[in-house]
Amino acid sequence: MVITIKPGTTEKGIQHVIDKIKELGFTPHISRGEERTIIGVVGENAIRARHTFEAMFIVESITPISKPYKLASRDFRKKDSLLKIKDVVIGGKKVVVMAGPCSVENKDMLLETAKMVKQAGACILRGGAFKPRTSPYSFQGLGEEGLKYLAEVSRITGLPVVTEAMDPRQLEIICSYADIIQIGARNMQNFDLLKEAGKQKKPILLKRGMASTVKELLMSAEYILSSGNYDVILCERGIRTFEDSTRFTLDITSVALIEILSHLPVVVDPSHGTGSRELVVSLSRAAVAAGADGLLLEVHPRPEEALSDGFQSVSFPIFQQLMEQIKKVAQAVGREV
Ligand code: PEP
Ligand code: MN
């Protein structure tokens, strides 16, 4: 349930409510707005305690949250959540483009790509150092060496970086180099990883599992939020369907649906979502039109030489065209790039 505190209530009054929530064995999640403070009370059967709080004169109202995901729900927060990563705001008017190679391959290609995507209008650099590959014989990523290149290129270009953590044991080191921690599709329901990610001080980009529903995605986000990290970005990256002419089926519907169900920002990955560079530009346009807060795109200076996902990586000229096209779509739907 959500407890809305009356405007003008003193800190002491708010603390009294918080102490009571803890005393009853629930966890308080405090959100201080311009006018009102709201406190989410989560825990099994939290709603049963509503009468205790209704009786307090500083409590304006109590709203039950009927959805199984509580803190991720629009019922918890009506306004869109805005995430600030250095100078970049995710969830606002600007559609944030995160672009870069699938894998960090070496420093030179990363720097070359970062400079190009920045010049074309991307705000965040992506690149995997720990790679979840289907085959154990495929390139597994450079590990910490890759993280070092990401941090160095970030310093040179000023672009914040997003990179994937596959295991709770990688979180500490990744947090020391990167600005956003990605949890990949294959790990969306790795609950230990989600709980540990919830203890970090860095935003988490949570990708939808390829066989997961939107509700399951929101429940996974709830793990991170309820562990104390409120900076979560959701990512639609395609799901498995009977359609086998594309790598996955990009579920554009989920973007519009998440906008209704949750206050969290949602970005779209048309690279993994389609698995084909011929389709990436069209699906980027579609994602922006559907209301995506950002795009996650694989870009490579020479896609045919890429060590992973070259077939779905766009070249620099195509990326430039893509950026030009999504600018027009963004404008048409009241956004900007
Ligand atoms: C990625 O973005 O590098 C990636 C591996 O994507 P996904 O987890 O969506 O397959
Ligand atoms: Mn990839």
Q: How far is the CA of 164 from the centre of ligand 1 (A)?
A: 8
Residue of 230, 95, 114, 91 whose CA lies nearest to 161: 114
Asked if residues 178 and 142 have their Cβ atoms less than 8 Å apart, the reply is: no
CA distances in angstroms from 21 to 12, 14, 24, 47, 329, listed in the order given: 14, 11, 5, 11, 46
Q: How far is the CA of 141 from the centre of ligand 1 (A)?
A: 13
Which residues does residue 62 pair with via DSSP β-bridges, in sequence order?
3
The chain-wide mean pLDDT, for the chain, equals: 97
Confidence of residue 34 (pLDDT cuts 50, 70, 90): confident
For the stretch 163-179, pLDDT in tens is 999 999 999 999 999 99
pLDDT of 43 higher than 90: no
Quick one: pLDDT at residue 322? Answer: 98
For the stretch 297-308, pLDDT in tens is 999 999 999 999
- How many other CB atoms sit within 10 Å of the CB of residue 104? 30
Closest ligand 1 atom number to CA of residue 102: 3
Asked if residues 146 and 127 have their Cβ atoms less than 8 Å apart, the reply is: yes
Q: How far is the CA of 30 from the centre of ligand 1 (A)?
A: 32
257: buried, middle or exposed (CB in 10 Å: 19+, 13-18, 0-12)? Answer: middle
Q: How many residues does the chain have?
A: 337
Distance CA 188, CA 15 (A): 35
270 sits in which H/E element: helix 270-274
Interior angle at CA 256, CA 232 and CA 63, nearest 5:
65
What's the whole-number mean pLDDT along residues 61-71? 94
Atom 6 of ligand 1, residue of closest alpha carbon: 184
What's the whole-number mean pLDDT along residues 74-100? 96
Quick one: pLDDT at residue 33? Answer: 83
Give me the CATH code for the 2-63 domain, please: 3.30.70.1140
Task: Give me the helix-helix angle, 316-332 and 107-120, nearest 10°.
Answer: 30
**What's the DSSP call for residue 176?**
H
For the stretch 213-261, pLDDT in tens is 999 999 999 999 999 999 999 999 999 999 999 999 999 999 999 999 9
Quick one: pLDDT at residue 45? Answer: 86
Which residues lie below 8 Å from residue 33, measured CB to CB, with a gap of 6+?
A: 79
Q: How far is the CA of 74 from the centre of ligand 1 (A)?
A: 27
For the stretch 130-188, pLDDT in tens is 999 999 999 999 999 999 999 999 999 999 999 999 999 999 999 999 999 999 999 99
- Give me the percent of the chain exceeding a pLDDT of 90: 96
Quick one: pLDDT at residue 182? Answer: 98
* Overall fold of domain 83-332: TIM Barrel (3.20.20)
* Domain spans in the chain, listed from the N-terminal domain onward: 2-63, 83-332
Atom 9 of ligand 1, residue of closest alpha carbon: 185
Strand 37-42: give its sheet, edge to edge: 27-32, 37-42, 2-5, 59-63
Distance CA 9, CA 6 (A): 6
214: left (phi over 0), alpha (psi -120 to 50) or beta: alpha
Task: List all residues whose CB is within 6 A of at least one atom of ligand 1.
Answer: 102, 128, 132, 164, 184-186, 207, 237, 269, 272
Confidence of residue 44 (pLDDT cuts 50, 70, 90): confident
Asked if residues 40 and 28 have their Cβ atoms less than 8 Å apart, the reply is: yes
Asked if residues 252 and 233 have their Cβ atoms less than 8 Å apart, the reply is: no
Task: Give me the helix-helix angle, 277-290 and 316-332, nearest 10°.
Answer: 20
Distance CA 174, CA 177 (A): 5
Quick one: pLDDT at residue 174? Answer: 98
> How many helices (H) and strands (E) are present in the chain, helices listed first?
11, 14
**Which tokens is 292 given?**
């995506």
Higher pLDDT, 124 or 45: 124
Per-residue b or e along 110-133, where b marks 16 or more CB atoms closer than 10 Å to that residue's CB:
bbbbbebbbebbbbbbbbbbbbee
